[in-house]
Each structure stands twice: as structure tokens, then as C-alpha cells.
Amino acid sequence: MKRIKRFQTLLALSLTTAMFLASCKKDDPRADEQPELMNYFVGIEVGEEYYMVPSKDIMSGSISVVGNGIEGIAHHAVVKDGYLYVINGDEATLDKYKITETGITKEDAISTAAVMSGSFARYTDLTETNDLLLMNFPNDEGNAPYAIIDIATFTVESYGSFKMPNVDRYKPSWCRAVVSGDKVYVGGEYGVPEVYGDIPDSLITIVYDYPSFTNPKTIISKASGGSVAGYRTNGSFKDEKGDIYQWNLRSNQWASNPEDVPNTPCVFVKITDGEYDDGYAFNVSEEFDEPVSIWNAWYAGNGIAYANVILESDLSVWDNLYENYGQLYEIDIYNKTVTKLNIPKAPLSDIFSLNSVKDGKFYIPVCVKGGNANIYEIAIGGGPGDVKVGAKLDGNNVYAPSLNILN
């Protein structure tokens, strides 16, 4: 009996294996039946109008908003496990869209008005615990609203506000967080709001327990001054080793002139084990012949970040942020090198979310004012010329504030 049973089991296993292998054959027509989901999501602004345009290809052809795209959403999106999560400002909701082979379909919505009481969700970030962290800046009292949404169940785990302390005479005005383990690191911009031009000569981060946002602890780096709250994108990111890196926004168009608070260059700094690592600072300004500022940086992995660098001499007025003065640089934060990429100058400072690393490539939309708009593919760590021009976006009056990829 045992032998017969063993034989039957072996036979069953053999048949199953054979069927499985047969199903994997390349020429099996059923292999083509697997639905190919939309996997690229390009946020598009046309004036004051916003669209999220799904695409299956970002390296050839064109991605047009004419006749395509979901109206009303473009800036803050997260793609995870077959769903796209996006802040809907018109209806004060966080919308959940199912990604399909033809586009996205709205499935659910959480009222951000209810959980961000008296405020609104300025941005949403995916945490390492697969939560969505909604936040806004602190008010004059230093209270910043937040909500934590569990992605798996699409429910509100917790919400409320946390208090950011004053540091000496400086008050918090912007903030953005990155979660690491049971801590959340809230990079801050500090200053004296009544008086533009008075900022501390240091970088300030408040560390809280996560997800409770309790036990605030202020950590300070003297590597430079300015904001580590980011601009449109986060000012902090976590690398594969578990360290947190920050870049600072420091410009004559932001809070104060650098000469008002001297010795405050553009830097990358590191936080290890809950404290600033005073042994690490990458002075990016020293890599340039004239003063520069960073307006957005994105981490692509393996110590490589991409940053939008603008010459301070080009920023005589605020509106120049929207001119072709932004240059993308590859910054190796481990080896402390800066590489100018062979990508045209463009306004890159209003890119709100880029979750666009795939197969060792980093993708970014570049919309040259008065010129072409394209997706660019950059081989991470590949040098200045290892860049490809991808899909063409619509004309000049289109700006792409986000690109999210379903991996």
C-alpha cells in the first residue's frame, strides 16, 4: 500500500511539475494572457489643472494629457501593491485607486478633512512599515497635524498633532518626516517668522517615538544652517544601511541671505543611531565655483542621490525658480562626489513626488520652459552621459510634478 501511495504521490508531483513547466514555456499562449498593468503614473499640471496620466511605457512614444488622465490629482502620490494612493485636494480626501491594465479605478477614500482637523494633508509618504504618513507644516504654535493610514486595510491607524518645540528664539515653520524603526525624524525649518532673515546657524531635527509622536528629542547639527524639511520633496531619506541623510535648503530666496548667516553652505549630513554624525558632512557648495542652492533631492539607492542645483546668481527673483535654471546632478553621498548630468536645464523645483527607481535606473520628467518635455532615464552611478531621452510629454504649458512607478 505504502509503495502504491508513494507511486501515486510521485506521479502527482511529476504531473504537477510537468504542467507547471509547460505553463512557463515561452511560446505558451497563456503566458500572453497575463494582464499587463499600467505601471507608470505621470502627474501633469496644465496651468492650475492637474491630471494623473497612467502609461505602460515611459521610454518611447508620447504621454499626452489630451484625452488621458484622471482629473484633479497630480502631485502627491504613492504606488504600492497594485494600488495608487493620492491626495485629492478638491474633495479633501485621500483616494485609493486600483491599478488595472487600462488605467486606475477609484475604490475608496478617507476624509483628510476629518483626520487633519482644521488643516489639510500637504503631503503623504510611504513609511517602511507600509503606512502612509500624512502631514502638514506646524502652525504658529508649533503644532503639526498628522495621520497614519494602514495600507493593507486602508484604515486610519492614528491621527492628531504633535508639538514641535522652539529652539532658543527660533520657531518651527516647515517640517517633513522620515520613519526609521520605532522613531520618526522630523526635519525642520526654524527661524523667527516675524523677521525674514533670522535663522539659526544650525540644522534642527526633532526625533519622536513612532507611531505615537511622543518623547520629542531635539538634535542639532552645526554643519550648516537652513532647512532640513525639504522643499517639494522630503529633506531626509534613509539608506540601505539604516542611516538617515539630509540635505539643507539654503538660498537667498529662502528665509535669509546666506551672508546674513555665514558659513552655512549646502550640505548633506547624516544621522546615525538617533544623533547627528558630526564626523560626516558633505559640503556640496565647495564643489562649485560660485554659490549654489539645492531645491529638491531624491535618493536612488546605493548612496546615490539626484539633486536639483541652482546657481544663486540665477535666483535674483523668486520667479526664476520656474525658469530653466535647475540642473540635475548626481551626488554620491558616500564618496562625496558631484556629477553634472547631460540633461537640459529646466525648472525642477516643483516636482513633488518621484518614486521612480526601477532596474538600476532613475527616471525623472524634465519639462524645459519654452522647449521640449520628456521623461529621462539615468543609469544610477553611470556617469554624466549615461542618460537616455524617453517618452515625450505634451508641449510647453505642461509641467510634470510627479512620477511614480509600480515595481
Partner 1 sequence: MFKLFLLNTAFFCLLNFTGYAQPQEEVTVRGVVVTPSGTPIARASVALAGTRYGTTTDEQGQFDVKAPVGNYTLLVACVGYAAFEVRLHLRKESMKPLKVVLKESKVNLDEVDVVGKTQVQALRETGFSVESVETADLQNQSIQLNRILDWTPGVRVRQEGGMGSNYNYSLNGMSGNAVTFFIDGIPMEYFGSSYTINNLPVSLIKRIDVYKGVVPVDLGSDALGGAIHVVSDSKRKRFLETSYSYGSFNTHQAVVHGQYSHSASHFTTRVSAFYTHSDNNYNVWGQGVNYADASTGFKAVDFTKENPATRFNDQFQTFNGKVDVGFVDKKWADQFFVSLLASTQRKGIQTGQTMATVYGKLHYKEVLLMPHLSYQKENLFTDGLTVSLFSGYSNRKGETIDTAMAFYNWKGETTPHEQGGGEISRNGKSWYTLYEDSWINRINVTYRLPAEFKLGFNYFNSSAKRHGKDPYVSAYRVPHIAPQNIHRQFAGLSLETKKFDERLYVNTFLKWYDFKTTSNELEYFIVDGEYQATAVPIKNNKSNWGGGIAASYKFHPLFLTKFSVEQATRLPTPTEALGNGVLVTNNPNIKPEQSLNINLGLVWGRIPIGSQQGLTVTAGVFYRDTKDQLLYMIASRDDGIYENVGQTLGKGVELAMVYDLNHWLKVNANMTYLDIRNNQRLEDGVPNIIYGDRLRNTPYLLGNAGISANIPNSIQGGSKLFAYLHANYLHEFYLYWPSLGTADTKNIIPSQLVYDLGVGYTLPGERISVALDLSNVTNTQAYDNFLLQKPGRAAFIKLKYQLAYN
Burial of 205 (0-12, 13-18, 19+ CB in 10 A): buried
Among 55, 93, 251, 356, indicate the residue that binds partner 1 (CB under 8 A).
Answer: 93
Q: Residues 347, 369: contact at Cβ < 8 Å?
A: yes
Closest to partner 1 by CB, 133 or 309: 133
Taking CB under 8 A as the binding criterion, the range among 106-114, 226-234, 310-318, 336-344 that sits at the site for partner 1 is 106-114
Closest to partner 1 by CB, 53 or 307: 53
Closest to partner 1 by CB, 162 or 247: 162
Closest to partner 1 by CB, 49 or 168: 49
| Residue indicated by cell numbers 553652505 | 265
Among 58, 77, 115, 309, indicate the residue that binds partner 1 (CB under 8 A).
Answer: 115
Residues forming beta bridges with residue 160, ordered by sequence position: 146
Among 120, 301, 336, 380, indicate the residue that binds partner 1 (CB under 8 A).
Answer: 120
Q: Does 48 bind partner 1 (CB under 8 A)?
A: yes
Q: What are phi and psi of 54, to 5 degrees?
A: -80, 155
Residues forming beta bridges with residue 45, ordered by sequence position: 50, 399
Among 37, 109, 220, 338, indicate the residue that binds partner 1 (CB under 8 A).
Answer: 109
Before 211, cis peptide (omega within 30)?
yes
DSSP assignments along 138-186, one per residue:
--TTSEEEEEEEETTTTEEEEEEEEEPPPBTTBEEEEEEEEEETTEEEE
Tell me the C-alpha to C-alpha distance, in Å, between residue 128 and each of 3, 131, 137, 180, 271.
51, 7, 21, 7, 17
Minimum gap (Å) between residue 208 Cβ and partner 1: 16
Q: Does 212 bind partner 1 (CB under 8 A)?
A: no
Q: Does 110 bind partner 1 (CB under 8 A)?
A: yes
Closest to partner 1 by CB, 198 or 243: 198
Closest to partner 1 by CB, 122 or 250: 122
Lay out the site mask for partner 1 across 53-92 (x = CB under 8 A, - = otherwise). -----------xxxxxxxxx----------------xxxx
Minimum gap (Å) between residue 284 Cβ and partner 1: 29
Indicate the pairing of strand 353-355 with strand 357-358. unpaired
Taking CB under 8 A as the binding criterion, the range among 156-164, 269-277, 304-312, 384-392 that sits at the site for partner 1 is 156-164
Among 165, 181, 193, 384, indicate the residue that binds partner 1 (CB under 8 A).
Answer: 193
- Separation of alpha carbons 133 and 131, rounded Å: 6
In this structure, the number of other CB atoms found within 10 A of the CB of residue 38 comes to: 18
